[in-house]
Structure 1
Amino acid sequence: MAGQRGAWRRAIRHAAGLGLAAVLLASGCAAPGAPDTTVRDIQRTLDARAAAVIGHDERAYLEAVDPAAASLRTVERREFRNLADVPLSSWGYRLGDVKRHGTRAVAQAELRYRIDGYDTAPVTASRTLELAEHDGYWYVTADRAGKGGGRQLWQQGDVQVVRGKRSLVLAVGQDGKRLRSVAATADRAVPAVSAAWPSHWAGRVVVLVPASLGAMGELLGAPAASYRGIAAVTTGETGAPGTAPADRVIVNPEAYAVLGDYGQGVVLTHETTHVATRAYTSAATPMWLSEGFADWVAYRGSGSTTGQIAPELQRAVRGGDAPAGLPLDADFGFGGDADKLARAYEGGWLACELMAERWGEQKLTAFYRAVGGGRHRAGAVEKAMVDVLGTSPADFTVRWREYLRERLDG
């Protein structure tokens, strides 16, 4: 191993192009006025680590780990092997804040990777790295999720890979037959979404199926209990086409399993809609629109009755407790009142159903894009309603409440 480490060190030295002043600084004897190359040197270590992932070079990958960190090397070896079947096209680290204390450093970094054939933009994950300097070179001594981040799928076990025609399913600890069924359902969801959403999108989806509800919570960096009754969620960030990080649909294996074929199809079509509309969803988009539109696509052409789709809201309307206004973002919070959450989704769906019925499907999708084109929430819906629908929020709310009674109180 000593000879291998030496070879790796020589490669890093060559890549970095270090001069005498930088070498003196790395050894702790900095010449007057010599630049601090800590960030650059740590980036070189991470670049070598990233190249090893893409090159499927386990030995080179482990060379970036501190030789004295035996337990970390064991963990890193296992995680590297867990990634073996994942078709990666890129893997890299973007350094942020770096704090150095002598021969030790803590670095905030953004892991960025793409899956070949599926990601037009990278998935991003915040990481906190601890490093140690030996003989002028930096080695990783710890690698954990950054603030607010979660674990990665390959940190939970050997990643299973199932390819569909329009989908890629990545899982841990699942039955192969079940994963093929998930891929087939996702394959049907993609054209259903494309038929309802005319704007360009990738036309494919990546689905993650962790081993358990607890594992799902770890991926999301949130308490598992928050997702107990949620069959799936979509992760991602809003942004312009080509700039927003790639989305992942994460399935709750426990809640998803109890659904029939119809329910599973609705769930994956809903989540795939979020993937398709991500580039046109912004901070200006209210939850009733983003979630309502996803449900509208999922139920479009299903033949289900309004009462079947919106049972909780129907009970409220028939009980004389119809909502006074469109659902608020807070109404969509997980982990709270399940009935209130259901009514929020159902209310958003009926708002989009009203737009499609009264103004037409093209106006509905144009309204979605117009709202998402706003930079801020204030005024975005109001402007889009005037520009696209020729109405006002107050008038639309009156129409929506009448529509609820018409569709649900019969």
Structure 2
Amino acid sequence: MALLVWQRPWQESDDAVVGIPADAPSQLTAQFRALSEAGTEAEFVATAGTSRDAKAFARQAWRAREALGAQAVELRYVSGGDVADRADGSAQATVDVSWRAGDEIGLSDTTVHTSSVVFRVAPQADGGFSVIAAAPREGALPIWLAGDVAVERSSGSVVIRVDGGDEALPVETMATAARAAVARVVPGTKGDVTVVSPHTQTQMARLVGQPLEQVRQIAAVTTRLDGRGGTSADTVIVLNPTVFSTMDRRAAQVVLTHEATHLLTDAVGTRAESWVVEGFADFVALHDDSAALAVSAGQILAEVRAGRAPTRLPTAADFDAEGHGLGAVYESAWMIFRMLGERYGDARVVDFYEAVMADTPLDSALATSFGLTVAELTAEWRAYLAKSASTVS
């Protein structure tokens, strides 16, 4: 009798393998349409399927939608779901997902965010499917499909945590500090700093729509909410907890302020020279930093002392996230702006940056702001690096 109670042969098990019905595409088309039309959590959960996994997944997704103020959510079945690819009988269905963010998270409430998403679907014994998981197919995964979501607003910043986010550092406090730091250097700064704090590096890669290998070295990245399209009002900073959480408080704050500079100066998608964009972001992030130059520029100065001083300004290829010596490249770009700031002051540096960001040719912006040619800037920067390397141990 004890064995009979343990097995419960009369009760359907989530582990039971059920064959996929012949009309899977039409069933999935109707099911995802119904999910789009669901107006309450109860409707959404019921439409997602009868299994425990489907109910848990749907509750999580609905509550994340609510936290983000998601509007006009539409899930349109495209293909798949008709061939099992796992031992449990489940399959993959490709679905186009679109939605608009609410102003609760400081982003545009008019931009439609779109992604191609692969949903894991499992056929049910009583007909239909259970929708149990989601992963990006092309582009970024919608935040509300990434996990449990919590939103915290403070003065000038919004932090969106996924599955608790990065718990090692006080991200909310640091986001507010980053917003204030940019405002001190760039007059008239407007807008909120919105930070997405995932719990895992895999979540981060999915949220920015990049392969895991391409984000392993990155502590944070500033990107459009859906990884493509949108306007500057849809820009967020996404943290990589595997890197960000291992930093000390000072270094992490520098990273966050650097990214906040990109966000607040509309640098995402710019055609400006990479060294201008990245060097200026570090100019702002390190503006009031009290660390020694050996800390802030130790890698590039070590390269100079070793006889490997750069002979030209950094190029876009030098900033490749998978490249060797990335830290030295960023430091070398910052040293250009550090030199210009010391010689000409913040106002002229900001004027130069804003001119380049407004598509003024680099040589024209240099001439107007500093009376320099590209060749003269390069020569003066190389001399500045050499002098700094000789005086810093």
AA matched with 1:285: A
Does the aligned pair in 2 maintain the 1:270–1:294 contact within 8 Å?
A: yes
> How has the CA–CA distance of structure 1 residues 85 and 142 changed in structure 2, closer, same or farther, with 3 Å as cutoff?
closer
What aligned pairs does 1:327-342 form with structure 2 within 5 A after superposition?
327-337=314-324, 340-342=325-327
Q: Deviations over 1:322-381 (max 9, x none)?
A: 1001111111111231xx21111011111111222222211211111111212xxxx721
Aligned residue number for residue 58 of structure 1:
41
> How has the CA–CA distance of structure 1 residues 128 and 84 changed in structure 2, closer, same or farther, with 3 Å as cutoff?
closer
1:265 and 1:314 mapped to 2: Cα distance?
Answer: 22
Aligned residue number for residue 176 of structure 2:
187
AA matched with 2:335: L
Aligned counterpart for 1:352 among listed residues 337, 351, 361? 337
1:171 and 1:107 mapped to 2: Cα distance?
Answer: 25
Aligned counterpart for 2:273 among listed residues 286, 293, 298? 286
> How has the CA–CA distance of structure 1 residues 275 and 330 changed in structure 2, closer, same or farther, with 3 Å as cutoff?
same
Residue 213 of structure 1: how far off its partner (Å) = 1.5
> How has the CA–CA distance of structure 1 residues 191 and 77 changed in structure 2, closer, same or farther, with 3 Å as cutoff?
same
1:281 and 1:218 mapped to 2: Cα distance?
Answer: 19
1:173 and 1:46 mapped to 2: Cα distance?
Answer: 23
AA matched with 1:127: S
**TM-score when scaled to structure 1?**
0.70
1:70 and 1:245 mapped to 2: Cα distance?
Answer: 39
Is 2:238 the partner of 1:250?
Answer: yes
> How has the CA–CA distance of structure 1 residues 394 and 46 changed in structure 2, closer, same or farther, with 3 Å as cutoff?
farther
**TM-score when scaled to structure 2?**
0.72
Aligned residue number for residue 149 of structure 1:
139
Tell me the percent identity: 28
Does the aligned pair in 2 maintain the 1:296–1:353 contact within 8 Å?
A: yes
Does the aligned pair in 2 maintain the 1:46–1:92 contact within 8 Å?
A: no
Q: Deviations over 1:257-296 (max 9, x none)?
A: 2222211211211111111111x56532121111111111
Q: Deviations over 1:207-247 (max 9, x none)?
A: 2221211221222222223322322221128xxxx943512
> How has the CA–CA distance of structure 1 residues 349 and 47 changed in structure 2, closer, same or farther, with 3 Å as cutoff?
same
Q: Which runs of 5+ in 1 are unaligned?
A: 1-40, 100-104, 131-140
2:347 and 2:185 mapped to 1: Cα distance?
Answer: 9
What aligned pairs does 1:63-78 form with structure 2 within 5 A after superposition?
74=55, 77-78=58-59
Does the aligned pair in 2 maintain the 1:89–1:116 contact within 8 Å?
A: no
Aligned residue number for residue 260 of structure 2:
272
> How has the CA–CA distance of structure 1 residues 407 and 363 changed in structure 2, closer, same or farther, with 3 Å as cutoff?
same
> How has the CA–CA distance of structure 1 residues 355 and 310 changed in structure 2, closer, same or farther, with 3 Å as cutoff?
same
Equivalent position SS for 1:366 = helix
Equivalent position SS for 1:86 = helix
AA matched with 2:365: A
Residue 321 of structure 1: how far off its partner (Å) = 1.4
AA matched with 1:301: D
Is 2:390 the partner of 1:405?
Answer: no
Does the aligned pair in 1 maintain the 2:196–2:238 contact within 8 Å?
A: yes
1:175 and 1:244 mapped to 2: Cα distance?
Answer: 24
AA matched with 2:305: R
Does the aligned pair in 1 maintain the 2:304–2:385 contact within 8 Å?
A: yes
Does the aligned pair in 2 maintain the 1:197–1:365 contact within 8 Å?
A: yes
Aligned residue number for residue 297 of structure 1:
284
Is 74-83 or 327-336 further displaced after alignment?
A: 74-83
1:295 and 1:264 mapped to 2: Cα distance?
Answer: 13
Residue 199 of structure 1: how far off its partner (Å) = 3.8
Q: Deviations over 1:148-175 (max 9, x none)?
A: 4132333232113334333222223337
Equivalent position SS for 2:232 = coil
**Aligned positions, number:** 340
